[in-house]
Amino acid sequence: MIKDALFVVDDFAPHGSSREVTTMHDKAERLFRSGGNLGGRSRMTADTSLRPEYYPRGLVAASGEDVPRGHSLRARMVIDEIGRNDIDANKLRVLQVAAQKGLLAEALAGYVQSIAACANATDLSAELHRTQDQLCGTFTGDHRRTPAAAAALMLGVNQFLNFATDIGAISDLNAETLSDTVRAKLEIQTAVQANEQAQEDPVTIFVEAVPALLAAGRAHLTDKDGNKPGKADRGADTAFLFGWRKRERETFTGTRNEWSPQGDRIGFLVELQVWLLPEIAIAAINRLLGEQGRSLPIGRHTLGKRLREAGWLAETDKQSFTVVKRADGAPQRVFVFEHSKLFPPGD
């Protein structure tokens, strides 16, 4: 990757078959995760010795119609959603003319020279790290990396504004106003990104997918004896919410309505608790997500750990995030949820 420079990726717009879309997202993840982690890619020569690793040393800026998937991947990015009317065409035209005249390149060259002079005279790297750490407290985020990424951008803006005031291009007051404007914009962006990022959290995906699966008839719950679940705490027969459908059946005496389960059984509804069978539930959710070109990116153990940390599990034991319950005539290792939490009243 280009050192100490901006590396631009234009128009990330996955399209085509589900496999082609997934391939594009995989490539995007490799690029952005490597840049975010400053991690090189190991390769071997023909004699199995390791080739030298090349580490990302530039800044990646990308445009596109979609955002790469993944909770932790998005945390390594600062995402700015630009609408149709967000760009002032007149201001853009002025900048394009300035670029054609070489004025932007001239300004950047002067900035780079000033940075080089400071680096030679002071311990600039340590100073910049200290300033970035201070700026981190300004921003919030669902993931620890988000405030750091926003702080890095804010640091870059402030450094350039310092250069602009030093050469007399703008006044101190204008520089302060611009800095405050950028800071406010980044604060809004990180707050919005935190909300969007939460939707990519595997815990959120799991707990939202379970009721959706059942309501769509893609899976079902039974009571602990393997029969249609009871009324739970809603005061009415709501078996359809738990993956059951009423069907007409012809009998010798006429037509009769019967409830039948849909899809795989992913757990049990027992009094005011829901006991989910982890592997079966995860497999059913991944089938649903697979139709959207997505998947649950973690396994049972890690999911259980995160569910407990997020306060979702009603019971756990010391060695595991699951609990053994007797259901359908046999011991079952299950995730235990409060019914009212997994199926909030009014939903």
What are the residues facing 312 on neighbouring strands?
A: none
Indicate whether 263 pLDDT > 60: yes
Sequence-ordered list of residues with C-beta below 8 angstroms from that of 88, at least 6 positions apart, any chain: none
Report pLDDT digits (tens) over 15-64: 887 778 888 888 888 888 888 777 777 778 888 788 887 778 888 889 98
Count how many Cα atoms sit within 13 Å of the Cα of residue 34 in the half-sphere of its side chain: 17
How many other β-carbons are positioned within 10 Å of the β-carbon of residue 152?
15
The pLDDT value recorded for residue 178 is 96
Average pLDDT, the chain: 86
CA distance 318 to 21: 41
Weakest-pLDDT range from 5-14, 206-215, 217-226: 5-14
Query: What is the model's pLDDT at position 29?
Result: 84
pLDDT, mean of residues 69-84: 80
Enter the tokens of residue 270: 């027992």
pLDDT at position 235: 47
Nearest to 332 by CA among 285, 264, 280: 280
Mean pLDDT of 199-223: 91
Q: Is the pLDDT of residue 325 over 90?
A: yes
Give 74 or 337, the one with higher predicted confidence: 337
| Domain locations in the chain as residue ranges | 1-69, 91-200, 202-342
**pLDDT tens-digit map of 123-146:** 888 888 888 888 888 887 667 788
The predicted pLDDT at position 317 comes to 81
Question: Which residues, at least 6 apart from 46, have a Cβ–Cβ distance to it below 8 Å?
Answer: none
pLDDT at 157 over 80: yes
How far does Cα 173 stand from its chain's mean position? 38
Distance of CA 46 to the CA centre of its chain: 38
Helix ranges, the chain (H):
18-37, 71-75, 89-100, 103-121, 124-136, 145-166, 172-198, 202-215, 278-290, 300-309, 339-342
Paired sense of beta strands 59-64 and 6-12, if any? parallel
Lowest mean pLDDT among 119-133, 168-182, 233-247, 250-264: 233-247
Please give the share of the chain, as a percent, with pLDDT higher than 70. Answer: 95
| String of DSSP letters for 126-166 | HHHHHHHHHHHTT---SSTHHHHHHHHHHHHHHHHHHHHHH
Q: What is the DSSP letter of 53?
A: P
- Least confident piece of the model among 38-42, 269-273, 332-336: 38-42
